[in-house]
Structure 1
Amino acid sequence: MNKRAIITSALPYANGEIHLGHVASTYLPADVTTRFLKQNGVEAYYVCASDDFGTPILIQSEKEGKTPADYVAHWNKRDYDDFTAFGINFDYFYKTSSSENIEFVQDVFKKLNDAGHIYQKEIIQFYCNNDKKFLPDRYVKGICPHCKAEDQYSDLCESCGRVPEEITDPKCSLCGQTPTKEKTNHYFFKLKNFGDSLSEWLEETTTLQKDVKKYVQNWIKSGLIDWDITRDIPWGVPVPLDGADGKVFYGWFDNHLAYISTALKFLNDKGIDGKEFWNSADIYHFIGKDIVYHHYLFLPAMRLGINKEFKLPTYIPTRGHLTLQGKKISKSRNWYIGLKQFLQYYPADYLRFYLVSINPYSQDDLNFDWDDFTTRINSELIGNLGNFVNRALGFTKKSFDGKIPETEPFDEKDSEAEQKIKSLATDVSTLMEQNHLDRALKKIMEVSSFFNQYFQHKEPWKNGPGTTNCVYLSVNAVRSFAIAIFPFMPESAQKIWVQLGLDGNVADVLWSSQSELSISSGHTLGDASPLFARIEKSDIEKYKKELGPSE
């Protein structure tokens, strides 16, 4: 395991609140992974930033009578606060509109230009005569020329994941009228020149998802298209060339460069050589499947274009979209649950547990279902893990005054229980390193289930032979679970730690130590109390009704 890592997530667009669909595929898996890496002694930093530029922000800020800068500042703070409440523990959360990012983006562009990877071309762009403006991508909708999906933005087809060269049957998404075509000059990045070097990078980077890699390689074989990197709007990173006529960079040109500029800002401010750290670390970019094109083609090509001055990604963990009650999430139809709203219903760890449980390391979509959520929390989290922790600690408090008794020679069942503890760190770690977070959590729950059965089999309440061994092994298993569940459910892990009567923070304990039996005879527990409260069906029915009409 590399002892250095930088973790990023796709940047949240500073144009509205964070909802469950945002956190499921990118922020939660990234946070879980970062916590795990830190537990393993990796100098890991999770950095992110709000994505501040673009036409939607410009228009929405005008509607609200705010400057774009004030508007994005509001959402930057709100998003950070919501993430923090959910236990997403960024080491640094910045913004693409920062002076550092603007300077970095302009510097990268100049290097690409000097290297001959940029050219200027007169293009025909959609222009809305009704709204009197050129229409950037998000303001033109139509039919994808590749897969024929309807109602797609002109910069990205959400159905097939490709970036259309030109959308079919275009309509202005502001007023619905068919736009005309007008001439304008734009700057282009020579993406098609990087086909061979991108193929080589994909081939040699064995840590990338095989299924994603395969269809990206097919995209390259079918021919890449040069990338239009500028827009005719006043809100964005200015193009630093004479005669650029007030043009700004397309958001996708500047926003993923903020991964690097934000990391450099954070590390350099800490007195660490940011560039040297970046190039010696494992680089993780957590994304949803809708932005594979950008992260597997645009992002690496730009880094190749500046001679790999900054290391290309080691991992790009890509996951599917979250649906809600089997339907696509839609803010406009009120078919979504805001993160802040959810956290008023239940603790963050309930949602963290559920979303990791249902989220495989694949591009398969996942579904948030209120009834399934109820079952998993009540049956698995509470009925399994919560039950075992409560039984083990509660019984020790009641029957041994909270003091761990002396042990006797182990019988076969005790030895099996001891072995479960000793192999837990390795068994779970293997799955975590492979990005199978759902399987890792399932493995922990399987071991918890084993210990519930072990406790039942031993019947310590009868105070027969082997009772002290049962108490000793069960309390040590609880300690193991506190360490193992920390990446997934940090608040619950710390509560267990305190109930065990252990000092400090579980976050500071090495991952491998979960396989040690380090709670000795004579240790006194803290106060024990139930970790979780059952979910009531009557509450769930109420929350279902709060969702707007699905059609």
Structure 2
Amino acid sequence: MSASDTSAGDPRHVLVAVAWPYANGLSHLGHIAGCYLPADVFARYHRISGNRVLMVSGTDAHGTPITVKADQDGVEPADVVNRYNPRFHEQWERLGISFDLFTTTMTDNHREVTWELFRALHANGYIDTRTTEQFYDPQAGRFLPDRYVEGTCPHCGSPDARGDQCETCGKTLDPIDLIDPRSKFTGATPEPRETEHYFILLPRLQEDLLRWLEGREGWRGHVINWALGFVREGLIERAITRDLAWGVPLPPELDISTPDSQKRIYVWFEAVIGYLSASKEWAQRSGDPDAWKAWWLDPAAESYYFIGKDNIPFHAVFWPTYLLGSATAESPPLNLPTNVPANQYVTFRGAKASKSRGIGKSLLDYLDDYQPDELRYALATILPEYNDTDLTEDELVRRINGELVAAWGNLVNRVLAMTRKNFDGVVPEPGELDERDRDILATVDRNLAREAELLERVELRAGLKEALDAAQEVNAYLNATEPWKTAKTDLRRTGTTLWTALQAIAGCNLAFAPYTPFAAAKVGAWLGHGEQLEGTGWQRREVPAGSTLGAPTPLFRKVELPEDDGDV
């Protein structure tokens, strides 16, 4: 469905589900370009178009990286979460990431929703106990969760694979699979010991999942091909509890903890349930506890999961199996993902960004050097939608100065400045439009329509190019009509040119709005449209003749390359 279709009917319900960051460090630009900025651009487009968006995420409080960080700092895991969660909120606010709710997995609500799904899968025969071998560190005297085991990947030979996944080749792993395993605690060679855990019986859901995956349309090739290949290789039963003291406990009636072994629901199972628990928490906060159902139970609703490619198995395979397997007579089936537009990696001088390895400065560091819209624009031009993208600060600066400032910021300021100079800031009454006038307005409208089609398909990088191309065409129109010259000889023609340019700028502002929301609010106010674009519809709005324009200030500023500190 196109944006124009929605204006004639009921608004669409669009769930924008965004990866949950671990509370072990601040986000870097790889995270932002990987999922948070794309999700926000997509959500803002749909809000402008008049659709009902619910954009949720939160701090992943129970991942092993949090307990590792807590061990390193000598504090409790909850202390680590409480340290970083406010900083996440700060970075979202400063960058303009417009969550409807950003919560944590430490809430009572998340525990209860996790239990609901666990109980449903257990009742339906898709969760059961198994006695299995798990690595035990004899020096530390404790069982080791997946990420506390490192070793050589059996698939690609990387020497730094984690017990749950190899970052080099992307394969999901079991710690027992690792070659030359070692404990992250002590460096000792762990030994396998028997322990009882709950497993999700994925093979029982394999055929249903495969049929669903084979029916997906419009998914990125690297996502659907990976998911189909993974499932066709054969799903295995996977443990979903661990011997831990930190995490969501088991439902009391299903608890299999022993005096020597405290069990917790493992993070890779419960974290994705956060999309559902956050939706329910948002509904409770809104005063309508059933409001979440419009996004989760209505088959016409849409759900998009914005993640990095290392999270494909959890969102394109495991999460759909939970949803398929949890329906009961009392609980209707929950909506499966409409799309999982996972991005590839952003690399920094050839190395993959990593909080744990300290590669890539934090987002808040960048926001000290760049305006938020400047950073958003530059990152949006290199979104790694289909291939890994290498990022350098030189490229950021080039994009900001050569495109955003030169093509868009200067266009707005010179047209508004000429209108103030020649018409006292009042939008002139146009004469009869000539072919050039009509053509530029038609061009802007065509670009807006093409951009909408691209954004609907989550082709966000190409969508931004339509906005930039439109601004460059308006600049070319001004260079051809030369209103600064005709102002001396034909003021009526100048008025027609500036009226046309102002209409075109209104269209360009809409095109840039999902990417540069702070600037869009300013331009909207200057044009008399107001700062709020949400719900106005995805079409160019007229700037009426006779209306008074606001006094413009520079939208953006040219930036200089920050002093090189050896990082990016």
TM-score range, shorter chain: over 0.9
Q: Which residue of 1 aligns with 2:113?
A: 104
Q: Which residue of 1 aligns with 2:523?
A: 496
CA apart distance, 1:143: 1.9
Identity %: 34
Matched, 1:506 2:532: yes
Give me the whole-angstrom Cα distance separating, in 2, the residues matched to 1:291 and 1:331.
16
CA apart distance, 1:25: 0.9
Instruction: Name the SS of the counterpart of 1:122 in structure 2.
Output: strand
Deviates more, 1:114-123 or 1:291-300: 114-123
Query: Cα RMSD between the aligned structures?
Result: 1.8
1:512 to 1:296, Cα distance in 2 relative to 1, 3 A: closer
Q: Which residue of 2 aligns with 1:428?
A: 451
Give me the whole-angstrom Cα distance separating, in 1, the residues matched to 2:475 and 2:347.
34
Q: Of 253, 266, 269, which residue of structure 1 is paired with 2:269?
A: 253
Q: Which residue of 2 aligns with 1:359?
A: 383
CA apart distance, 1:377: 0.7
Kept in 2, the 8 Å contact 1:55–1:235? The answer is no
CA apart distance, 1:61: 2.7
Letter in 2 for 1:524: T
Instruction: Name the SS of the counterpart of 1:531 in structure 2.
Output: coil
Matched, 1:24 2:24: no
Letter in 2 for 1:472: W
Matches within 5 A, 1:381-400: 381-400=404-423
Q: Which residue of 1 aligns with 2:312?
A: 292
Structure 2 segments unaligned to the other structure (5+ residues):
2-10
Instruction: Name the SS of the counterpart of 1:446 in structure 2.
Output: helix
Kept in 2, the 8 Å contact 1:146–1:164? The answer is no
Kept in 1, the 8 Å contact 2:136–2:142? The answer is yes
Q: Which residue of 1 aligns with 2:359?
A: 335
Q: Which residue of 2 aligns with 1:169?
A: 180
Letter in 2 for 1:346: Y
Letter in 2 for 1:493: A
Instruction: Name the SS of the counterpart of 2:406 in structure 1.
Output: helix
Kept in 1, the 8 Å contact 2:411–2:475? The answer is yes
Q: Which residue of 2 aligns with 1:130?
A: 139
Letter in 1 for 2:407: N
Matched, 1:11 2:50: no
Q: Deviations over 1:349-379 (max 9, x none)?
A: 11100111111432x1122211111111111
Give me the whole-angstrom Cα distance separating, in 1, the residues matched to 2:255 and 2:404.
61
Q: Which residue of 1 aligns with 2:495?
A: 468
Kept in 2, the 8 Å contact 1:47–1:90? The answer is yes
Give me the whole-angstrom Cα distance separating, in 2, the residues matched to 1:194 and 1:184.
25
Instruction: Name the SS of the counterpart of 1:468 in structure 2.
Output: helix
Matched, 1:114 2:123: yes
Q: Deviations over 1:329-352 (max 9, x none)?
A: 244664311111111111111110
Matched, 1:43 2:70: no
Q: Which residue of 1 aligns with 2:4?
A: none
CA apart distance, 1:536: 2.0
CA apart distance, 1:442: 0.6
Matches within 5 A, 1:80-91: 80-91=89-100
Q: Which residue of 2 aligns with 1:306?
A: 326
Q: Which TM-score applies when normalising by structure 1?
A: 0.94
Q: Deviations over 1:10-33 (max 9, x none)?
A: 101111112212111111100111
Matched, 1:452 2:475: yes
CA apart distance, 1:425: 2.8
Matches within 5 A, 1:42-81: 42-81=51-90
Kept in 2, the 8 Å contact 1:207–1:314? The answer is no
Give me the whole-angstrom Cα distance separating, in 1, the residues matched to 2:66 and 2:349.
29
Give me the whole-angstrom Cα distance separating, in 2, the residues matched to 1:536 and 1:301.
49
Give me the whole-angstrom Cα distance separating, in 1, the residues matched to 2:467 and 2:190.
56
Q: Deviations over 1:310-340 (max 9, x none)?
A: 1111111110111123322244664311111
Q: Deviations over 1:23-62 (max 9, x none)?
A: 1111110011111111111111111111111333234335
Q: Deviations over 1:432-479 (max 9, x none)?
A: 111111111111111110111110110111124532221001111122
Structure 1 segments unaligned to the other structure (5+ residues):
none
Q: Which TM-score applies when normalising by structure 2?
A: 0.91
Q: Deviations over 1:158-181 (max 9, x none)?
A: 223221242222111233221112
Kept in 2, the 8 Å contact 1:482–1:506? The answer is no
Q: Which residue of 2 aligns with 1:269?
A: 285
Give me the whole-angstrom Cα distance separating, in 2, the residues matched to 1:242 and 1:405.
74
Give me the whole-angstrom Cα distance separating, in 2, the residues matched to 1:146 and 1:422.
51
Q: Which residue of 2 aligns with 1:283?
A: 303
1:67 to 1:174, Cα distance in 2 relative to 1, 3 A: closer
Q: Deviations over 1:499-527 (max 9, x none)?
A: 33x1532323523332x4x1122121110
CA apart distance, 1:145: 2.0
